């Protein structure tokens, strides 16, 4: 049963956001919530507690993963897929930037960081992430990059959540996914991927 103290940690996670926790230099507050390991129980409660909502759960899990390399939990794949969903910009504050997912298709071809910190977590989650990512293949919201050259490069690519979902499905499931500049061609590629995933599921059912 979550305590008031856990609720307070969840509130602090939400207030700080990803940038406040990890990207504020010496002012980053992840260590304050980790408290040398004393904060672990509250963070795990938040990760396991679906009532807390996606944002604090993602942030709590990310604190755990950073503070304790190798940390993993059963719901990791679903939670990081939700992080990708939360990256899509809409009429509210931005929770995660595209930077956390790398330059993806562009980096594979031209160089640069392909995955970012959160993209790497998805890759580590493996096949378990694929169905959760498949749920995002209809999400057309933009991913927005911040920074200087990161923003110049990233925003020029005009990635959407579903482009990123398709990219990571392709990486995890070893399925080729071609990138196209025009969104209509991208959408066709995503439909092709969706059909491939459907066929894979049928094959798996038949085998079992």
Partner 1 sequence: MTRLWERDSAAQRDAASAAYKSADLRRGHLVAQQLSLSRASLLDLQRSAGNSAVGRLIRAATRAQSTQARDTWASGSSGGQLVQRSINTSGGEWDTDKYDLLKDVDQGGSPLPAAVGARGVDITLRFKPGAVVDAELIGLTQSVQAFVRGAPNLTPAAATRAIPAADAKSINTGKGETDEGTAIDRAAGFNNPIYPVKSTASASLADTNTDPGWGQNGVHFTDGAKTPHHDDALLKDTPMRAGAQKDSRHIFETTALATKGAQAGTYYGSVRWGWRTDDKGGFTKIALEKVSDGVPSATFLKAGQIWNPGKSSTGAENVDLPIVDVKVTTGPVTLAPPVPMVDIALPKGTRLQMLKAFVAPLLSGTVKVVDGPHTGVTGEVSAAEWPNIADERA
167 binds partner 1, rule: CB under 8 A: no
157 binds partner 1, rule: CB under 8 A: no
139 binds partner 1, rule: CB under 8 A: no
Of 36, 51, 148, 184, the one binding partner 1 (CB under 8 A) is: 148
Specify the stretch interacting with partner 1 by CB under 8 A; choose among 18-26, 57-65, 185-193, 197-205.
18-26
Residues of span 23-82 touching partner 1 by CB under 8 A: 23-27
The three-state secondary structure class of 151 is: helix
Specify the stretch interacting with partner 1 by CB under 8 A; choose among 14-22, 37-45, 74-82, 185-193.
14-22
Decide whether 34 or 103 has the Cβ nearer to partner 1: 103
Of 37, 38, 51, 91, the one binding partner 1 (CB under 8 A) is: 91
| Smallest distance, partner 1 to C-beta of residue 27, A | 5
Please check whether residue 143 is in contact with residue 136, taking contact to mean a CB–CB distance below 8 angstroms: no
Rounded to whole angstroms, how far apart are CA atoms 119 and 109? 17
140 binds partner 1, rule: CB under 8 A: no
List the one residue out of 159, 153, 149 whose CA is nearest residue 186. Answer: 159
| Smallest distance, partner 1 to C-beta of residue 14, A | 14
Torsion of CA 78, 124, 88, 48, to 10 degrees: 30
Cα 83 to Cα 47, 55, 176, 184: the distances in Å are 13, 7, 23, 25
The three-state secondary structure class of 142 is: strand
Token pair belonging to 153: 């490069």
Of 39, 56, 102, 170, the one binding partner 1 (CB under 8 A) is: 102
87 binds partner 1, rule: CB under 8 A: no
CB atoms within 10 A of CB 101: 28
151 binds partner 1, rule: CB under 8 A: yes
Size of residue set near partner 1 by CB under 8 A: 41
Torsion of CA 85, 145, 157, 88, to 10 degrees: 20
Instruction: Give the HSE-up count for residue 87: Cα atoms under 13 Å, Cβ half-sphere.
Output: 30
| Smallest distance, partner 1 to C-beta of residue 24, A | 5
Rounded to whole angstroms, how far apart are CA atoms 40 and 6? 10
* List of residues contacting partner 1 (CB under 8 A): 19-20, 22-27, 89-94, 97, 99-100, 102-103, 107, 110-114, 116-117, 142, 144-153, 155-156, 158
């Amino acid at each position: 049963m979550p305590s008031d103290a856990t609720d307070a940690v969840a509130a602090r996670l939400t207030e700080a956001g990803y940038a406040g926790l990890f990207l504020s230099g010496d002012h980053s507050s992840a260590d304050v919530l980790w408290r040398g390991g004393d904060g672990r129980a509250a963070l795990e409660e938040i990760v396991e507690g679906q009532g807390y909502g996606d944002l604090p759960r993602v942030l709590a899990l990310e604190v755990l993963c950073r503070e304790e390399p190798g940390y993993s939990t059963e719901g990791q794949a679903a939670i990081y897929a939700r992080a990708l969903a939360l990256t899509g910009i809409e009429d509210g504050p931005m929770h995660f930037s595209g930077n956390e997912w790398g330059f993806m298709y562009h980096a594979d071809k031209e160089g640069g960081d392909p995955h970012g910190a959160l993209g790497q977590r998805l890759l580590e989650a493996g096949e378990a992430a694929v169905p959760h990512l498949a749920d995002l293949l209809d999400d057309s919201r933009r991913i927005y990059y911040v920074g200087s050259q990161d923003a110049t490069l990233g925003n020029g690519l005009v990635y959407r959540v579903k482009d990123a979902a398709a990219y990571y499905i392709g990486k995890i499931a070893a399925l080729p996914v071609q990138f196209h500049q025009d969104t209509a061609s991208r959408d066709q590629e995503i439909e092709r991927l969706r059909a491939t995933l459907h066929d894979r599921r049928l094959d798996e059912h038949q085998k079992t």
